[in-house]
Amino acid sequence: MSRHSVRCGDHADEGDPEEEWLVEGFASAEAAQDYARRFVRAQIEDLRREAGSPAELADMYRRWGEYAVTKGFDAEAWVAHCIANPATRKQDTDYAALEPR
């Protein structure tokens, strides 16, 4: 079994073990990081439709978005990047396509 996984959860319930889940079985750290990037970007893009400004989008994500954590993934830098640079391709947010089988 692979050692690479991504822990996901809901910012609104952060710290509640009932609101966190683990996606396991990634072949490499890079694969887990790619999944985490797409997962977070999908959350931000879903909220972008409601936000009036980048600051509001950042606040909305930290209050109601879902997060992803894995070794080597700088979530804070990635969130800032996603807020400043909207996704332009469907694959940018298609994290389900990367789920281990």
Q: pLDDT tens digits for 26-74?
A: 999 999 999 999 999 999 999 999 999 999 999 999 999 999 999 999 9
User: Which helix or strand (DSSP H or E) is residue 66 part of?
Assistant: strand 66-69
Instruction: Give pLDDT, residue 2.
Output: 58
Query: How far from the centroid of its chain's Cα atoms is residue 92's Cα?
Result: 11
Confidence of residue 81 (pLDDT cuts 50, 70, 90): very high
Instruction: Give pLDDT, residue 3.
Output: 86
Task: Report the percent of the chain where pLDDT is more than 70.
Answer: 96
pLDDT at 80 over 90: yes
pLDDT at 100 over 60: yes
Mean pLDDT of the chain: 93
Give the long-range contacts of residues 22-25, CB within 8 A, separation 24 or more.
Answer: 23/99, 23/100, 24/100, 25/1, 25/100, 25/101
Instruction: Give pLDDT, residue 1.
Output: 43
The model's pTM: 0.92
